[in-house]
């Protein structure tokens, strides 16, 4: 992996989500009123989360899942309701604390291990499933592939990830965002063509025991993301 690329982007993401955008992100992921633009993002994220959850077993008792980039914990909570033991990790300590505070009364808090740190930390252990919802969209395609290869070494069943598909609308938003003052910008999303990402994943020697399964694109206003399932052969 080009270490500088990954580490530099990881640092940008931590600064943005832990300082610049923490309050806005906490509001977006709640049921508080938001603007019309953010409402489309919320709706898109809800649809994407439900898609990924539908690809997981209904009964996950005794299974371990890594929620890589857990944010405020919505997916982790739903997986814990199915009986899974969840390691929920995010770069932002602020968002992880919000996630801890949001655990509902019907979920055993012992089932969710919320952590602040790097999703690639091997100390997190091994898993049956990994979910990375919108946590890889800021990385270059080659880095996405190598991140997944690193996670695959510790995953026994499937990895469910999302990427930013290269579309004209997403390219336009990316272009317009470049005119905002640097201090106001979110870390850049790195769109990638689906076929390019598939080619990278299938060619990686570390992923030869894996195959691509289902895929699903969600496009709601200012939210566009595509889910991809990789299963161990």
Identify which has the larger pLDDT, 5 or 154: 154
pLDDT tens digits for range 71-111: 999 999 999 999 999 999 999 999 999 999 999 999 999 99
Instruction: Looking at the chain, list the stretches that DSSP marks H as alpha helix, in order from N- to C-terminal side.
Output: 3-15, 22-28, 36-54, 74-81, 93-101, 141-152, 168-177, 194-203
Q: d(Cα 127, Cα 156) in Å, to the nearest integer?
A: 6
Its pTM stands at 0.91
Name which of 11-15, 108-112, 196-200, 208-212 the model is least confident about. Answer: 11-15
CATH of 3-232, one of 1.10.1040.10, 3.40.190.290, 3.40.50.300, 3.40.50.150: 3.40.50.150
Contacts 24+ apart (CB under 8 A), 149-154: 149/204, 149/206, 149/207, 150/1, 150/120, 150/206, 151/66, 151/68, 151/119, 151/120, 152/206, 152/207, 152/209, 152/210, 152/230, 152/232, 153/206, 154/122, 154/124, 154/125, 154/126, 154/127
Q: Which sequence spans correspond to the domains of the chain?
A: 3-232
pLDDT tens digits for range 182-204: 444 467 899 999 999 999 999 99
pLDDT tens digits for range 29-73: 999 999 999 999 999 999 999 999 999 999 999 999 999 999 999
């Amino acid at each position: 992996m080009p270490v500088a690329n990954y580490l530099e982007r990881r640092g940008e993401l931590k600064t943005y989500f832990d300082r610049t955008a923490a309050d806005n992100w906490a509001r977006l992921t709640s049921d508080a009123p938001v603007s019309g633009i953010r409402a489309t993002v919320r709706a898109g994220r809800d649809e994407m989360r439900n898609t990924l959850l539908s690809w997981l077993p209904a009964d996950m008792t005794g299974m371990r899942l890594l929620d890589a980039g857990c944010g405020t914990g919505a997916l982790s909570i739903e997986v814990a309701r199915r009986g899974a033991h969840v390691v929920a990790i995010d770069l932002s300590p602020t968002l992880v604390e919000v996630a801890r505070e949001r655990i509902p009364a019907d979920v055993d808090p012992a089932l969710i291990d919320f952590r602040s740190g790097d999703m690639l930390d091997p100390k997190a252990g091994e898993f049956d499933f990994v979910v990375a919802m919108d946590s890889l969209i800021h990385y270059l395609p080659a880095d996405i592939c190598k991140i997944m290869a690193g996670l695959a070494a510790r995953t026994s069943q499937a990895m469910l990830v999302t990427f930013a598909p290269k579309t004209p609308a997403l390219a336009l938003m990316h272009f317009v965002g470049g005119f905002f003052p640097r201090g106001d910008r979110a870390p850049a999303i790195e769109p990638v063509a689906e076929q390019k990402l598939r080619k990278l994943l299938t060619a990686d020697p570390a992923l030869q025991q894996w195959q691509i399964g289902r895929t699903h694109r969600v496009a709601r206003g200012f939210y566009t993301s595509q889910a991809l399932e990789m299963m161990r052969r």
